[in-house]
Amino acid sequence: METSITTNDLCSYVSRQINYLFPDERPISSADIKLGASDALDRMEFCFQKISVKRYCTNSGAKFDHLYSDQYLMFLWFLGNVLWRKGSESNLLNKVYLLNKSLHSFDCSYNTQLPDVFIVIHGVGTVLGKASYSDYLTVYQGCTVGQAHGKYPVLGRGAGLGSGAAVLGGCNLQRFVSVGAGCTLVNANVGERSSIYRNADGRLTVKKTSDPISSEYFSHEYLYSIE
């Protein structure tokens, strides 16, 4: 994968950001970050290879720019998740999580099971809580996914959430469902290839669609490979 910075420099960059923002008596070293950086970059490369946006992937392969905030947001989540899987201590895990939250207002724990392939657009104010996620997830700014009354959502392949959308409780979104901007679903079952939007009088409307939100960002060769 083509990167804007070497892995060693990236590890130093992340550790310095953490120690500047959280200057306690338990600093994070570049070596701490290096425990998960290579695996996180490998997972990002796999993810970015499926994205059709040129800033993420071209014919020459996947690209990562640490100064492109959407990509750096995703790297920090992958990093935290890799470190969590490796059993790193909470001081490191929490600081990587808090760095992402501080820089991007993105709230997604390192132990949340996001899919292998996803994209976050802008990401400011987005909260991705515990749920069952599937590949080719697309999420815009200000979205919320999480439990309600002990029930957790299930998001099928190619789910897309527009700006300010919320999916809560026992929702079951089948394949290629798009939840439009400002729409809130609670304990809703939505059939595949459906688009939910708010009409002029404020009511939610569901219609079938052949072009889910996810089709704007992912290579159709991969997105529809199961069909």
pLDDT, one tens digit per residue, over 109-164 is: 999 999 999 999 999 999 999 999 999 999 999 999 999 999 999 999 999 999 99
Instruction: Check: pTM over 0.85? Answer yes or no.
Output: yes
Residue 189 lies in a domain: yes
Residues 80 and 137 in one domain: no
Which tens digit of pLDDT belongs to each residue from 56-75? 999 999 999 999 999 999 99
The CA-atom distances, in angstroms, between 5 and each of 42, 73, 104, 174 are: 15, 16, 20, 39
Ranges of H-type helices in 86-163: 90-104
CATH at residue 173: 2.160.10.10
- pLDDT in the model for residue 200: 85
What letter represents residue 105's amino acid?
Answer: S
Residues 60 and 146 in one domain: no
Q: Give the chain's length.
A: 227
Q: Which two tokens stand for residue 216?
A: 């704007």
Residues 38 and 82 in one domain: yes
Strands 118-120 and 154-155: unpaired
Residue pair 154/171 in contact by the 8 Å Cβ criterion: yes
Residue 29 lies in a domain: yes
Which tens digit of pLDDT belongs to each residue from 78-122? 999 999 999 999 999 999 999 999 999 999 999 999 999 999 999
Total structural domains in the chain? Answer: 2
Q: Which two tokens stand for residue 150?
A: 């002990």
Residues 74 and 154 in one domain: no
Residues 124 and 98 in one domain: no
Which tens digit of pLDDT belongs to each residue from 150-202? 999 999 999 999 999 999 999 999 999 999 999 999 999 999 999 999 988 88
